[in-house]
């Protein structure tokens, strides 16, 4: 099922905090992961074709962002019982294969995804230095089998943030596979 960003959080809203484990059961909190100039929170998983399409470029992009003091954290909110290919061991292998040098966390309760209004994989949330939402939208306008991912939309948002510009207004929503919600835990915005 194709899904799009919900834009539940608005620019300037304080990002919801969290404490989540990685695949090795080490816990991380948003506040300790924040970058001096900003933080990128990405909801994704291993098996989604939209994530696979940009996974390697995401590794390159986030390394360049880290050099500009913008840290990244990825969150997998999929139902890991129904989608074992997104489980912890696969997460570690997928991250390593794509050069991801940032925490990749598990949102087993799916509450963090709901608090952000995350709807799809991948779904991008760029936060400013005070952990307020600056940008929620697409990586770029490429899709699986349509173009080579370069992260142009997200890069424009990062550049604007670092230049002190106001948040972008005309934003295209992220699109991808819907987050795989556990039965009965689907958010109100699911399927809209």
The burial class, CB within 10 Å (0-12 / 13-18 / 19+), for 2 is exposed
- What whole-number distance in Å separates Cα of residue 128 and Cα of residue 145? 32
Q: Does 153 have pLDDT greater than 70?
A: yes
pLDDT digits (tens, 9 = 90+) for 71-101: 999 999 999 999 999 999 999 999 999 999 9
pLDDT tier for residue 2 given thresholds of 50, 70 and 90? low
pLDDT attached to residue 189: 78
Q: Is it the case that residue 164 has pLDDT exceeding 50?
A: yes
Complete domains list, the chain, with CATH = 2-178 (3.40.30.10)
Question: What's the token pair of residue 100?
Answer: 């991801």
Helix count (H) and strand count (E) of the chain? 5, 10
Q: Considering the entire predicted model, what is its pTM?
A: 0.95
pLDDT digits (tens, 9 = 90+) for 41-72: 999 999 999 999 999 999 999 999 999 999 99
What pLDDT, on the 0 to 100 scale, is given for residue 104?
A: 98
With tokens 């090795």, the residue in question is 24
Rounded to an integer, what is the distance from CA 84 to the centroid of its chain?
A: 20
Binned at pLDDT 50, 70 and 90, residue 8 comes out as confident
- The whole-number average pLDDT for the span 23-33 is 97
* pLDDT for 192 beyond 70: no
Q: Mind listing the pLDDT tens digit for each residue in 121-144? A: 999 999 999 999 999 999 999 999
C-alpha 18/C-alpha 10 separation (Å) is 18
Q: Alpha carbon 41 to chain centroid distance?
A: 5
Region of poorest pLDDT, from 5-19, 81-95, 151-165: 5-19
pLDDT at 148 over 70: yes
Contact 21, 73 (CB under 8 A): no
Write the CB contacts of 47 (distance below 8 Å, at least 6 apart in sequence): 83, 85, 86
Contact 117, 145 (CB under 8 A): no
Using DSSP, state whether 77 is helix, strand or coil.
coil
**In the chain, % of residues over pLDDT 70:** 95
3-state secondary structure 101-123: CCCEEECCCCHHHHHHCCCEECE
Within 10 A of 178 (CB to CB), how many other CB atoms are there? 17
């Amino acid at each position: 099922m194709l899904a799009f960003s919900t834009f539940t959080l608005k620019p300037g809203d304080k990002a919801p905090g969290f404490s989540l484990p990685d695949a090795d059961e080490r816990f991380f909190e948003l506040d300790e992961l924040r970058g001096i100039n900003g933080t990128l929170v990405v909801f994704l998983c291993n098996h989604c074709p939209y994530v696979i399409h940009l996974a390697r470029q995401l590794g390159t992009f986030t390394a360049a962002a880290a050099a500009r003091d913008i840290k990244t954290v990825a969150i997998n909110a999929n139902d890991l019982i129904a989608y074992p290919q997104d489980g912890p061991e696969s997460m570690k292998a997928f991250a390593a294969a794509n050069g991801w040098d940032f925490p990749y966390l598990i949102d087993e309760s799916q509450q963090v995804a709901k608090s952000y209004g995350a709807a799809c994989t991948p779904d991008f949330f760029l936060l400013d230095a005070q952990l307020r939402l600056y940008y929620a939208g697409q990586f770029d306008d490429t899709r699986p089998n349509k173009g080579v991912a370069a992260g142009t939309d997200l890069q424009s948002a990062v550049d604007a943030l670092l230049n002190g510009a106001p948040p972008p207004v005309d934003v295209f929503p992220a699109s991808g596979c819907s987050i795989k919600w556990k039965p009965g835990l689907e958010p109100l915005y699911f399927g809209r």
